[in-house]
Amino acid sequence: MTQDPYEILGVSRDASADEIKKAYRKLARQLHPDVNPDPETQERFKDVSRAYEVLSDPGKRAAYDRGGDAFSQGFGGAGQGFSFTDIMDAFFGGGAAGGQGRGPRSRARRGQDALIRLDVELAEAAFGVTRDLKVDTALRCEACEGEGTAPGTSPVTCETCHGQGEVAVVQRSFLGEIRTLRPCAACRGFGSIIPDPCRECSGDGRVRSRRTLTVKIPAGVDHGTRVQLTGQGEVGPGGGPAGDLYVEIHVEPHPTFTRNGNDLHTTVSLPMTAAALGTQLTLPLLEADLPQSADTADGEKPATTYDLDVRAGTQSGSEQVIRGFGVPSLRGGRGDLVVSIVVDTPTRLDPRQEELLRELAAIRGEETPTGQAEAPHKSMFGRLRDAFQG
């Protein structure tokens, strides 16, 4: 591990103060514990912060350039030797002091996730759809490139904590005096103060803005499904990385189809005569009347109807299952279409129709039905009860 602060920051020995600052900010954004908490990265972040502390201070930089040891003096305690945090770090490894001693905290933090609701039709949820969404989130301020400083200005080192972001607090205890580090109130722990904040974003480094986002909703989403769009949420303060955007799907009810998992249900009514004699129905299918989802891979239009054979003697309330005509699953495959059949009993018979029906009843011996009791249809509950009583 190099001890050369120039190497640590990746700058040349004649780098300007501005170049050093830029290099540090770039590294700090990648390595800051708020962004990347793994221990190895935190160690590198400390090294980078220490290197920056030397090179950002003209006196310390000059002393190092004259051949001094960059890390022999002044770290963690402004020239007063070991701080409490250093001792804790030495004994327990970094981070043992409960988040203390991390140096100045970065202004850049990850932004929050955002959630928006999208109303779609059943067919759009089933077959997928591409939509343009108006999204209202924080975006990086272009005027200051997320830095929060007015053009041509820079943050200045906090005088209270000398850029440490922390101040030492001495407490008396039975062990003697214990030095602990607290975040600096003057700079809120940043180690620097923005004297002239960017007017566009008031120094936050981000502005609220409305934009249009083209979102592809995959086939098979259901009511309540959240589609994750990585990095499309709120941009973080100080030019920090954006959170994710979640699009929560709300499916509007369809007039004739309902959905149960990946199965679709629909009900068709049938004249009594057709139910008795059998027939073929042209059943309209759920279809997406949107051009982008109406085309299949080979360019053929998917079928919009299904020829359903209704066998003679079909009962009212019976169901017919059409395999593979339900909703495509997000994990592949497709559910079924379940068709419930309702038999229409004719009303308002004219004399001729009534005559024919009476004749039919006579032939079938159905003139005086007895209203014979039938064994109840065994429901799930009934079978369960039988199982317990048996």
Residue numbering of the annotated binding site: 141, 144, 158, 161, 184, 187, 198, 201
Binding mask 177-196 for Zn ion (x = CB under 5 A): -------x-xx---------
Binding mask 228-267 for Zn ion (x = CB under 5 A): ----------------------------------------
Shortest Cβ distance from residue 103 to Zn ion (Å)? 11
Q: Choose the stretch contacting Zn ion; rule: CB under 5 A; options: 14-22, 158-166, 175-183, 285-293.
A: 158-166
Q: At 350, phi and psi to the nearest 5?
A: -80, 170
Q: Choose the stretch contacting Zn ion; rule: CB under 5 A; options: 63-71, 83-91, 106-114, 155-163.
A: 155-163
Shortest Cβ distance from residue 194 to Zn ion (Å)? 10
Binding residues for Zn(2+) are 141, 144, 158, 161, 184, 187, 198, 201
Going across the sheet that includes 319-322, the strands are 258-260, 263-271, 337-344, 319-322
Task: State how far the Cα of 355 lies from the Cα of 352, in Å rounded to an integer.
Answer: 5
Member of 160, 266, 316, 320 binding Zn ion (CB under 5 A): 160
**DSSP E strands, the chain:** 114-120, 129-140, 156-157, 166-173, 176-183, 192-193, 206-217, 226-229, 245-251, 258-260, 263-271, 279-284, 305-310, 319-322, 337-344
Query: Considering beta carbons, is residue 83 or 293 the nearer one to Zn ion?
Result: 83
Member of 158, 275, 286, 327 binding Zn ion (CB under 5 A): 158
Q: Are strands 114-120 and 245-251 parallel, antiparallel or unpaired?
A: parallel
> Which residues, at least 6 apart from 109, have a Cβ–Cβ distance to it below 8 Å?
34, 35, 236, 237, 238, 240
Shortest Cβ distance from residue 32 to Zn ion (Å)? 17
> Which residues, at least 6 apart from 87, have a Cβ–Cβ distance to it below 8 Å?
none
Shortest Cβ distance from residue 199 to Zn ion (Å)? 8
Query: Considering beta carbons, is residue 201 or 215 the nearer one to Zn ion?
Result: 201
- Size of site (CB under 5 A) for Zn ion: 12
* DSSP alpha helix (H) spans, the chain: 5-9, 17-31, 39-56, 58-65, 84-92, 122-127, 272-277, 291-294, 351-364, 380-389
Task: State how far the Cα of 75 lies from the Cα of 177, in Å rounded to an integer.
Answer: 20
Task: State how far the Cα of 369 lies from the Cα of 360, in Å rounded to an integer.
Answer: 14
Q: Choose the stretch contacting Zn ion; rule: CB under 5 A; options: 120-128, 176-184, 288-296, 325-333.
A: 176-184
Task: State how far the Cα of 20 lies from the Cα of 61, in Å rounded to an integer.
Answer: 11
Query: Considering beta carbons, is residue 167 or 247 the nearer one to Zn ion?
Result: 167
Shortest Cβ distance from residue 104 to Zn ion (Å)? 8
Query: Considering beta carbons, is residue 9 or 167 the nearer one to Zn ion?
Result: 167
Binding of Zn ion by 169 (CB under 5 A): no
Between helix 58-65 and helix 39-56 the angle, nearest 10°, is 90
Query: Considering beta carbons, is residue 155 or 220 the nearer one to Zn ion?
Result: 155
Query: Considering beta carbons, is residue 184 or 251 the nearer one to Zn ion?
Result: 184
Residue 367 is which amino acid?
E
Member of 8, 11, 28, 198 binding Zn ion (CB under 5 A): 198
Shortest Cβ distance from residue 102 to Zn ion (Å)? 14
Query: Considering beta carbons, is residue 5 or 103 the nearer one to Zn ion?
Result: 103
Query: What is each CA distance from 1 to 43, 72, 157, 288, in whole angstroms?
Result: 11, 16, 28, 61
For the chain, counts of helices (H) and of strands (E): 10, 15
Query: Considering beta carbons, is residue 123 or 198 the nearer one to Zn ion?
Result: 198
Member of 120, 126, 201, 274 binding Zn ion (CB under 5 A): 201
Query: Considering beta carbons, is residue 163 or 243 the nearer one to Zn ion?
Result: 163
Residues 125-144 that bind Zn ion (CB under 5 A): 141, 143-144
- Of the chain, the end-to-end C-alpha distance in Å amounts to 77
Task: Please classify residue 294 by burial: count the beta carbons closer than 10 Å to its beta carbon, then call 0-12 exposed, 13-18 middle and 19+ buried.
Answer: middle
Sites of contact with Zn ion (CB under 5 A): 141, 143-144, 158, 160-161, 184, 186-187, 198, 200-201
